[in-house]
Amino acid sequence: MIACQDLIKLVRAYNPKTDEKLISAAYDYGREMHEGQFRHSGEPYFSHPVAVAAILTEQRLDDATIVTALLHDTIEDTRASYTSVTDQFGREIADLVDGVTKLTNLQLSSTETQQAENFRKLFMAMSKDMRVILVKLADRLHNMRTIKAMRPEKQLKKARETMDIYAPLAGRMGMQWMREELEDLAFRVINPEARASIIRRFITLQKETGDVIERITGDMRRELDKAGIEADVFGRAKKPYSIWRKMEEKEMGFSRLSDIYGFRVITQNEEDCYAVLGAIHRRWRAVPGRFKDYISQPKSNGYRSIHTTVSGRDGKRVEVQIRTQAMHDVAESGVAAHWSYRDGVRSENPFAVDPVKWISSLTEQFDSEEDHEDFLEAVKLEMYADKVFCFTPKGDVVKLPRGATPIDFAYAIHTRIGHACVGAKIDGMRVPLWTRIKNGQSVEVITADGQAPQATWLDIATTGKARAAIRRALREQDRDRYIKLGRELARSAFEHVSKKATDKALDSAAKTLRLKDRDEVLARLGSAELTARQVLHAVYPDLAPDDSDAVGRERPVIGLSADQSFDRARCCQPLPGERIVGITYRGKGVVVHAIDCEALSAYDDQPQRWLDLHWHSGTHPAVYGVTLDVTIGNDAGVLGRICTLIGEQKANISDLTFVDRKPDFFRLLVDVELRDAEHLHGVISALDAESDVATVERHRDPRLAGTAPATED
pLDDT in tens, 425-440: 988 888 888 888 887 7
pLDDT at 210 over 90: no
Range among 9-23, 335-349, 555-569 with highest mean pLDDT value: 9-23
Q: Which residue has the higher pLDDT, 476 or 549?
A: 476
Asked if CATH classification 3.40.50.2300 holds for the domain at 550-713, the reply, yes or no, is no
Residue 692, pLDDT score: 81
Per-residue pLDDT tens over the stretch 129-170: 778 888 989 999 999 999 988 888 888 888 888 887 788 778
Compute the distance between CA of residue 169 and CA of residue 133 in angstroms, rounded to an integer. Answer: 9
The side-by-side arrangement of strands in the sheet containing 557-558 is: 557-558, 610-615, 580-584, 589-594, 565-568
Compute the distance between CA of residue 708 and CA of residue 584 in angstroms, rounded to an integer. Answer: 9
φ, ψ dihedrals at 437, nearest 5°: -80, 140
Residue 665, pLDDT score: 82
Per-residue pLDDT tens over the stretch 623-669: 899 999 999 888 778 888 888 888 888 888 888 888 888 777 888 99
What letter represents residue 470's amino acid?
I
Exposed / middle / buried, residue 301 (Cβ in 10 Å: 0-12, 13-18, 19+): buried
Residue 276, pLDDT score: 93
The H-or-E segment that residue 683 falls in is helix 677-688
For residue 76, indicate whether it is catalytic.
yes
**In this structure, are strands 261-267 and 317-324 parallel, antiparallel, or unpaired?**
parallel
Phi-psi region of 696 (alpha: psi -120 to 50; beta: other; left: phi over 0): beta
Residue 713, pLDDT score: 39
For residue 77, indicate whether it is catalytic.
yes
pLDDT level of residue 421 (50, 70, 90 thresholds): very high
Compute the distance between CA of residue 638 and CA of residue 644 in angstroms, rounded to an integer. Answer: 10
Per-residue pLDDT tens over the stretch 503-542: 998 998 888 888 888 988 888 887 777 788 888 888 887 7
pLDDT level of residue 256 (50, 70, 90 thresholds): low
- Sign of the dihedral defined by the CA atoms of residues 509, 513, 519, 524, in that order: negative
Compute the distance between CA of residue 341 and CA of residue 16 in angstroms, rounded to an integer. Answer: 10
Residue 28, pLDDT score: 93
Q: Which residues fall within 8 angstroms of residue 151, CB to CB, at 6 or more apart?
A: none
Residue 378, pLDDT score: 53
Q: Say if residues 135 and 69 touch (Cβ distance below 8 Å).
A: yes
Compute the distance between CA of residue 409 and CA of residue 421 in angstroms, rounded to an integer. Answer: 10
- Sign of the dihedral defined by the CA atoms of residues 248, 254, 257, 261, in that order: positive
State mean pLDDT over 458-483: 81
pLDDT level of residue 265 (50, 70, 90 thresholds): very high
Compute the distance between CA of residue 660 and CA of residue 632 in angstroms, rounded to an integer. Answer: 11
- DSSP for residue 617: S
Compute the distance between CA of residue 427 and CA of residue 440 in angstroms, rounded to an integer. Answer: 10
445 - beta bridge partners? 424
Rounded to an integer, what is the distance from CA 145 to the centroid of its chain?
23
CB atoms within 10 A of CB 200: 11
The side-by-side arrangement of strands in the sheet containing 421-426 is: 429-431, 421-426, 443-447
Q: Say if residues 556 and 615 touch (Cβ distance below 8 Å).
A: yes
Residue 116, pLDDT score: 53
| Dihedral angle, C-alpha 606, 607, 609, 610, nearest 10 ° | 130
Rounded to an integer, what is the distance from CA 549 to the centroid of its chain?
28
Residue 629, pLDDT score: 93
Average per-residue pLDDT in the chain? 80
State mean pLDDT over 173-178: 79
Question: Can you list the positions of beta strands (E) in 209-289?
Answer: 231-237, 261-267, 285-286
State mean pLDDT over 313-317: 66
Compute the distance between CA of residue 503 and CA of residue 505 in angstroms, rounded to an integer. Answer: 5
Question: Can you list the positions of beta strands (E) in 353-408?
Answer: 387-391, 397-401
φ, ψ dihedrals at 691, nearest 5°: -65, -30
| Dihedral angle, C-alpha 474, 478, 483, 488, nearest 10 ° | -110
Instruction: Kindly state the percentage of the chain with pLDDT values over 70.
Output: 82
pTM as predicted: 0.52
Considering only 83-97, 196-210, 270-284, 358-372, which range has the smallest mean pLDDT? 358-372
Range among 196-200, 350-354, 387-391, 545-549 with highest mean pLDDT value: 196-200
Residue 69, pLDDT score: 92
Compute the distance between CA of residue 596 and CA of residue 76 in angstroms, rounded to an integer. Answer: 51
Q: List the CATH code of the domain at 193-338.
A: 3.30.460.10
CB atoms within 10 A of CB 460: 22
Q: CA of 111: how far to CAs of 108, 116, 133, in Å?
A: 9, 8, 22
Per-residue pLDDT tens over the stretch 590-616: 899 988 888 888 887 887 888 888 888
Q: Say if residues 182 and 141 touch (Cβ distance below 8 Å).
A: yes
Segments making up each domain of the chain, as ranges: 4-190, 193-338, 360-475, 478-539, 550-713
Superfamily of domain 360-475: Beta-grasp domain (3.10.20.30)
Residue 209, pLDDT score: 62
Residue 384, pLDDT score: 47
pLDDT at 588 over 90: no
| Dihedral angle, C-alpha 665, 668, 674, 680, nearest 10 ° | 40
Q: Say if residues 75 and 97 touch (Cβ distance below 8 Å).
A: yes
Rounded to an integer, what is the distance from CA 224 to the centroid of its chain?
38
Q: What share of the chain is helix, strand, coil (3-state, %, to 5)?
A: 50, 15, 30
Closest by CA to 306, choosing from 337, 272, 334, is: 272
Compute the distance between CA of residue 513 and CA of residue 417 in angstroms, rounded to an integer. Answer: 31
Question: Which of 19, 77, 488, 692 is an active site residue?
Answer: 77
Q: Which residue has the higher pLDDT, 331 or 28?
A: 28
Fold that domain 4-190 belongs to in CATH: Hypothetical protein af1432 (1.10.3210)
Question: Which of 19, 20, 43, 76 is an active site residue?
Answer: 76
Residue 272, pLDDT score: 92
Compute the distance between CA of residue 568 and CA of residue 627 in angstroms, rounded to an integer. Answer: 13
In the chain, what is the greatest distance between 2 CA atoms, to the nearest angstrom? 87
pLDDT at 106 over 80: no
Compute the distance between CA of residue 198 and CA of residue 213 in angstroms, rounded to an integer. Answer: 17
